[in-house]
Structure 1
Amino acid sequence: MGSFSIWHWLIVLVIVLLVFGRGKIPELMGDMAKGIKSFKKGMADDDDDTRTVEHRSDETVSPSKEKAGKS
């Protein structure tokens, strides 16, 4: 009862083809592939734009300079 027979899969395939049509499924897969590629490109661009700030331990900020910067 847990697994489907070949007839179940054939009926599901026929229903999917009737609902979406033969040309629509490859078009949907192509759009999905374009979306994945643009997502990966966006993630790579974010990694390139990330900058780190190096702090030196010999620099100190006095309280008077801190208040002057907030004004």
Structure 2
Amino acid sequence: MGLSLPHLIVLALVVLVLFGRGRISEMMGDFGKGIKSFKQGMADEANAQQPPAPPAQQIPPPAASPAAPASETVIDASKPSNPQ
């Protein structure tokens, strides 16, 4: 036993009388916004699962400095500095 066309028309008229035309329009608009938000959330989640893109350019490490710069004096510990 299903709903026939006359039953659906009577049901629609009762709902229209109870809620009014403006309220039904507002509810359908909210329903549409909810579906749109849901679809956007699903798309955002799918994008978040993708791995991030690698950086465009790698910065090279600084060059190693020499052990003793030319301006420093190296002292030989095998020779005493003040002979007595």
Who wins on radius of gyration, i.e. which is larger?
A: 2
Instruction: Kindly indicate whether residue 23 of structure 2 is the aligned counterpart of residue 19 of structure 1.
Output: no
- Percent identity, please: 47
Report the counterpart of residue 76 of structure 2 in structure 1: none
Q: CA RMSD in A?
A: 1.7
- Looking at structure 1, the residues matched to 11 and 47 of structure 2 have their Cα atoms a distance apart, in angstroms, of 45
Gaps of 5+ in 1: 53-71
User: How many matched pairs?
Assistant: 51
TM-score (norm 1): 0.59
Return the structure number with greater helix share.
Answer: 1
TM-score (norm 2): 0.51
Highest relative contact order (Cα 8 Å, sep 6+), 1 or 2? 2
| Deviates further, 13-22 or 2-11 | 2-11
Gaps of 5+ in 2: 52-84
- Looking at structure 1, the residues matched to 3 and 34 of structure 2 have their Cα atoms a distance apart, in angstroms, of 32
